[in-house]
Structure 1
């Protein structure tokens, strides 16, 4: 029987290109919360997104942290190193060679006294300059073999260091180089210069590059694909070498230039390298050839290492600019992840890649929407997500309060809302059978196959019952599987949330909590009480009806005036539009009324508050009471005058006053709204209406509880 060939044979290997396909999707929740906070504080969405990318998240570094690490590494390189490494090494080899030669002269008894005296005089009168001493000893007749070897090491070291300046890794590769190796180096440099000069004249071809690489490709482990790639690599290194020379003192630079002629014992190498530098600068004049740095450390670097350090500094400067994102059109995709990984490690590159993915996801997810003016704004989708998160926080705080009752009823005698939740002790709502059975099936399926005895009857000859796996379906309901159907109260409410937008709200840090409160209430009504009618009214020098998107994006209002009278006029107009709904009036303020709307429509402002302003405000609040409004006032701050005023207002209309902390403002406002609905429902059902008061249960039993009221996910 012949075996058919496998046409679908697969080969497996390490995944090396692109993002990790198994990585979890980017979590936008934390980013959106932070961006929403900044937007409500007055930032544009674009700036808020930039601020989040700058700060980073709890799990990964942001651009600011990465930029700080880049700056620290740059400072560390400059403060740790100096550029005397090669000169120090040459000086050590020279001193060792001279010492060995003197030892040899002292113990060589066969040496003519005149020759010994002349040699000692030469050694004694060597110039103080290292370069001049090396040059003068080039014709010296060494008596010590060890001294001659040490001196030859100087020439070899200089040749390898100078090559390492232009070709990274050449210092190690050319260690112990033969004369043949040195001849190959000179030949490669000559051919490379010829090729670059053809490029500068516009006469080179792809064939020229291919022939060059076939002949000298072993000198270039980077394996460039074309001449441009080779040019970029060589020019960047050559420019760094020039910046290193610029960073030296004039004395250091002069000594190095003189020593270069001693490289490999031939001036030809230095001539070819000078020719190469000129060709590279002509091909890439845009690189930084004239810069310099100030190295102040004690650790000396050789010419190759120093050039590498200058390359690192150039990369760090590029990364610093990319991470600052301060130029027009900046994007996280601009950050060079390879350079970041090379300079700061793989984790830094991972963090930057995640930030880039986050930026891309925010732009493409629909959370940011570009307006007609070209500026980004939070989309309705983003507003819903923010409201959901804020409402969830409010729910958790409400459910954790002392004295709350563990009641989960969403509405007595109400209609099915279409939502379900897990059954809790005391629930009387009907079961959602489909959801309950589905929960049991999913749980049983995740538990694996059922293991049963093979037979329920024990054979008389054996007392052992062998288990056997069976796939026979079995569904057993547990109490954790049961879900009940939620109901909605039939009572409708017309809700007016009046928020103070006077300059003191922004000045005293109450601007963002006010907006968060409005957004949480808006989300609750939009998702849980769709039959209610919410109107958001801002009042500063004058009042204005606002959509939630307008209010959350509202900049701080610095004009003077707290026109509660105008806000109440708009609220009462809203109540009259919905005569069959229960009016609920919620007022958030931190100051006494200092403005009112005159009969001619003009704003009248006076501080201290004018009696006419106070009277107009009280009269309009009385009109709210006549319309049946349940009034709750939330006083921010500790102003005694404001406290007396709002207390007297609440007494006149049988309302409530709460002085919450800023972090509890949303809890108090949402709780008051729910209490007003619950109280109305209780009265309509024939029940007693609980008294409202600070520190009491407030009749929120249908919404409080240790499990909290639920929020749509």
Structure 2
């Protein structure tokens, strides 16, 4: 009953990259692409590079980009190729297993001989252990363990003599006769093992006709035979769960019927018909798990066959022939072999093998059994297919074509999550209202542009917050501004924003406690207010080629976007114009500002035209606070020459300087303040901007491009707000 009073307790830890948080939000994505977009002014390129490089937010959460995922895929594939030896590994593994089986048989034969001679071996089945209670006396006839262990088993190899048979006179064989017969049989079996062919198919064929004396050797050989038959059939039918030798006659008949029906379907597909796939799966679906369509079935069979073909192609010609003979030999049933050849031809007709890579540069030493080798080849081929998907997505921006489940299977959960987040990237931005599609192109919405401006503003003010470099308090006051938390003694004409608490306390401090309170004029205190000025500003941005060469263009653009965002959000009554100047000057609208890129820059620094255009724009407003904020890295190099019919360019140019200073005088006469931010400080430029400052009484800042935003925006805000005293 008290549980509702118990508050949940939560634990918090620092983000270390291992915790799971669902996805990245739209703000994370927009922040990640904003710098790229502001530098180049191309949203499509910024989105494309974002998909290549991925997204990392301030909390450390990350969505890997296509480039990193492809690199991880290449590393994974390279690790496999450097580890395994496919050229001879499969055949070496089979040879080692056969040698182990033959060695077990030799040891079993020797144990039988030792037991017959009265030397029981430890751990031998059916034989007494040394020192045990049931130990048989030396020379006693061993009991028969199985038909294969008795001399009569040798009759299958053309041998004579049996164990337990009576002699010519009807008497049972003596222990001595039994020993000699067993030695003769053992000798012939050992000679048979020594005389086995060198090739693997020949060894398996003759061992299939051989009667083993050792149970363990016989079991291992039967397991190897069954495994090879199952793997051979699984190159087409993934659902094969048993070998041919373990099938009943009914199972074999069902298998043959399935192959014939499958051939019929593939032939109908070649003829352009639509096969009855559903009926086929109702009868034979257990051979093809996870298949939902004929195309899926064909793809599954192609990949399985390609894995075996890949093993073949990575073997030497002699090894390839040896493995092919083994496969033909293991098929057993000639009718199934014919049907399988027809199946291979039909599959090649509908899904050519040349579309699948089968040769890989294996460089390692580790061997693999045939079943593991097939899985490895299938995995490498899937990696090839996934790499093609990733490359296609990079070229065409079609992330939907990437098989996310295959990414998870081949690489892991982190890569899968990243692909899923990249696939949702455009949808996330669109649902947040940051982008919209117009035709075949994505474009930023007004909301998206404002968000990028806020991000630029935040970047610029991050250093200010750390340094504590803020606004200065002014002794001037105004009327009708925002109320502050400070109060003052009321004076005639002040807004009557009464601070009731301090007013009453003033009366108590003057007369002491008691009621009623008698208020006098000096007791009244009112809240201070802020004096808010209205300003008209032209931001002049140097768009000469030197701004690009000196790496200043992006910083200037970021500051312009941030200033516009600041004015729109905090000073909505202000007027802001943006003028770009290079060989000529022109006005840029706010929506054009975001699209500016290095390709908009031109030769020349036409300050005179820029100042002329700025002065004309500011003349539209009656306010007393008019200013031009000019960001440049060089002096004027363009002037107007009427006799030559237009603007002329030279560096340096006294004519350009004269016309620029003339425009500075005109701005000064109109009450326009010019604040200049210089991003480069050679002697000629310093001397010129000092002349501008002397004429206009404006300020000049020699700022580093990395600190430009700090100086510019602090100066703008300081000229905006003054506290009431």
- Coarse TM-score class (shorter-chain normalised): 0.7 to 0.9
1:510 deviation in Å? 0.9
Contact 1:369 1:376 in 2 (8 A): yes
Whole-angstrom distance in 1 between the partners of 2:239 and 2:371: 8
Q: Deviations over 1:627-646 (max 9, x none)?
A: 11222111103423222322
Q: Which moved more, 1:541-550 or 1:493-502?
A: 541-550
Tell me whether 1:81 sits opposite 2:84 in the alignment. Answer: yes
Contact 1:186 1:272 in 2 (8 A): no
Q: Deviations over 1:134-174 (max 9, x none)?
A: 3344444555555444443442232122133334475xx43
Contact 2:471 2:717 in 1 (8 A): no
Equivalent residue runs for 1:23-422 within 5 Å: 26-42=24-40, 44-58=42-56, 59-60=61-62, 61-83=64-86, 84=88, 86-103=90-107, 108=113, 109-111=179-181, 119-140=189-210, 142-168=212-238, 170=240, 173-174=241-242, 179=245, 181=247, 183=249, 186-202=252-268, 209=277, 212-222=280-290, 224-263=291-330, 270-285=337-352, 288-289=355-356, 291-326=358-393, 329-370=396-437, 374-402=440-468, 404=470, 412-414=478-480
Q: Deviations over 1:261-292 (max 9, x none)?
A: 34276666655544433333333337735632
Contact 1:157 1:263 in 2 (8 A): no
Judged with a 3 Å threshold, the aligned counterparts in structure 2 of structure 1 residues 208 and 591 are, in CA distance, closer, same or farther, namely: closer
1:340 deviation in Å? 1.1
Secondary structure of the structure 2 residue equivalent to 1:261: helix
Q: Deviations over 1:319-348 (max 9, x none)?
A: 223333556643322221111111122232
Whole-angstrom distance in 1 between the partners of 2:583 and 2:79: 56
- TM-score, length-normalised on structure 2? 0.73
Whole-angstrom distance in 2 between the partners of 1:544 and 1:30: 34
Contact 1:337 1:353 in 2 (8 A): yes
Q: Deviations over 1:32-71 (max 9, x none)?
A: 2332211222152011011112221221222222222111
User: Which residue of the other structure, out of 534, 537, 544, is the alignment partner of 2:579?
Assistant: 537
Secondary structure of the structure 2 residue equivalent to 1:588: strand
Select the structure of larger CA radius of gyration: 2
- TM-score, length-normalised on structure 1? 0.74
Counterpart position of 1:576: 619
User: Which residue of the other structure, out of 608, 613, 624, is the alignment partner of 1:565?
Assistant: 608
What are the ranges of 5 or more consecutive residues in structure 2 without an aligned counterpart?
Answer: 1-19, 114-178, 489-493, 500-526
Secondary structure of the structure 2 residue equivalent to 1:560: coil
Contact 2:674 2:698 in 1 (8 A): yes
1:24 deviation in Å? 6.4
Contact 1:541 1:559 in 2 (8 A): yes
Secondary structure of the structure 2 residue equivalent to 1:232: helix
Whole-angstrom distance in 2 between the partners of 1:664 and 1:119: 91
Counterpart position of 1:437: none
Contact 2:23 2:421 in 1 (8 A): no
Q: Which moved more, 1:403-412 or 1:576-585?
A: 403-412
1:522 deviation in Å? 1.1
Tell me whether 1:612 sits opposite 2:678 in the alignment. Answer: no
1:620 deviation in Å? 1.0
Secondary structure of the structure 1 residue equivalent to 2:360: coil
Whole-angstrom distance in 2 between the partners of 1:575 and 1:33: 34
Contact 1:398 1:667 in 2 (8 A): yes
Count residues with an aligned counterpart: 598
Whole-angstrom distance in 1 between the partners of 2:438 and 2:640: 34
Q: Deviations over 1:287-332 (max 9, x none)?
A: 7356322222223233333232232223222322333355664332
Q: Which moved more, 1:286-295 or 1:186-195?
A: 286-295
User: Which residue of the other structure, out of 630, 635, 643, is the alignment partner of 1:587?
Assistant: 630
Tell me whether 1:621 sits opposite 2:664 in the alignment. Answer: yes
User: Which residue of the other structure, out of 614, 638, 646, is the alignment partner of 1:602?
Assistant: 646
Judged with a 3 Å threshold, the aligned counterparts in structure 2 of structure 1 residues 506 and 207 are, in CA distance, closer, same or farther, namely: closer
Counterpart position of 2:147: none
Judged with a 3 Å threshold, the aligned counterparts in structure 2 of structure 1 residues 426 and 163 are, in CA distance, closer, same or farther, namely: farther
Tell me whether 1:510 sits opposite 2:552 in the alignment. Answer: yes
Q: Deviations over 1:385-416 (max 9, x none)?
A: 11122223444544554464586999842456
Aligned-residue Cα RMSD (Å) equals 3.8
Judged with a 3 Å threshold, the aligned counterparts in structure 2 of structure 1 residues 96 and 392 are, in CA distance, closer, same or farther, namely: closer
